[in-house]
Amino acid sequence: MPQKGLITVVVPVYNEARTIESVLKRVLAVPFVKQVIVVDDGSTDGTREVLQRAKHDDLTVVLLEKNRGKGHAVRQGIARSRGDAVVIQDADLEYLPEEIPKLSELILKGEADAVFGSRFIGAPRKIGKFWHTKANQVVTWFSNLCSNLNITDMETGAKAFRGDLIRGLPLKSDRFGFEPEVVARLARRKASIFEIPAPYFGRTHAEGKKIGAKDALAAIWHILRFNFFDRG
Q: What is the pLDDT of residues 117-170, one digit of tens each?
A: 999 998 777 777 887 888 889 999 999 999 999 999 999 999 999 999 999 999
Is the model more confident about 212 or about 57?
Answer: 57
Least confident of 20-29, 75-84, 212-221: 212-221
CA–CA dist 82, 3 (Å, integer) = 6
Q: Could you tell me the domains of the chain?
A: 3-229 (3.90.550.10)
Is the model more confident about 66 or about 2?
Answer: 66
Please give the distance of CA 166 from its chain centroid, rounded to a whole number: 12
